Amino acid sequence: MNRERSLYGTEFEVKLRNELTQKAIAKECAEWIKNKVTFKSNTSDKSIQGQIVVDGIGYTPINNFTTVECGVWNEELTLDENLAFHEKQAKLEKEIARLEKRARAEKQPRKKFELVQKIKELKEKG
């Protein structure tokens, strides 16, 4: 049993690694919030339902500002499965962006069409 545990490190090492990961995620999240988020308070005497607006699209109801509530984390998956999913999505988004850039620069209609088809396939896949 100790041998299996040593693959992941001691309990202390795993805890430290998790804390470092959490700090990195928190720092990245704070930077994103600083650059992209605008918070608005309801200063009227009327109550409104919690909501989030992203790129002009409103999402409601939002009761708690958590990854699960915001739809970016699946409670039914393990931590590793969630991380793998998001890593795969990030790679897919990078590939789509790369292909879109190539398609914009492409002069030959046939090649441009092929690139657009590939982009469409990747978007449907994601």
For residues 92-97, average pLDDT: 90
Q: How far apart are CA 81 and CA 104, in angstroms?
A: 35
- Reported as a single tens digit per residue, the pLDDT across 21-75 is 777 788 888 888 888 888 778 888 888 777 778 778 887 777 777 777 666 777 7
Q: How far apart are CA 65 and CA 50, in angstroms?
A: 10
**Amino acid present at 42:** N
**Segments in the chain forming alpha helices (H):** 2-8, 11-36, 79-105, 109-125
Q: How far apart are CA 9 and CA 2, in angstroms?
A: 10
**Amino acid present at 14:** V
- Reported as a single tens digit per residue, the pLDDT across 25-35 is 888 888 888 88
Share of the chain above pLDDT 70, in %: 81
**Global pTM value:** 0.44
Q: Evaluate if residue 4 carries a pLDDT over 60.
A: no
DSSP state of 27: H
Residue pair 126/89 in contact by the 8 Å Cβ criterion: yes
Which residue, 63, 26, 56, is CA-closest to 71? 63
pLDDT given at position 46? 87
User: pLDDT grade, residue 18 (50/70/90)?
Assistant: low
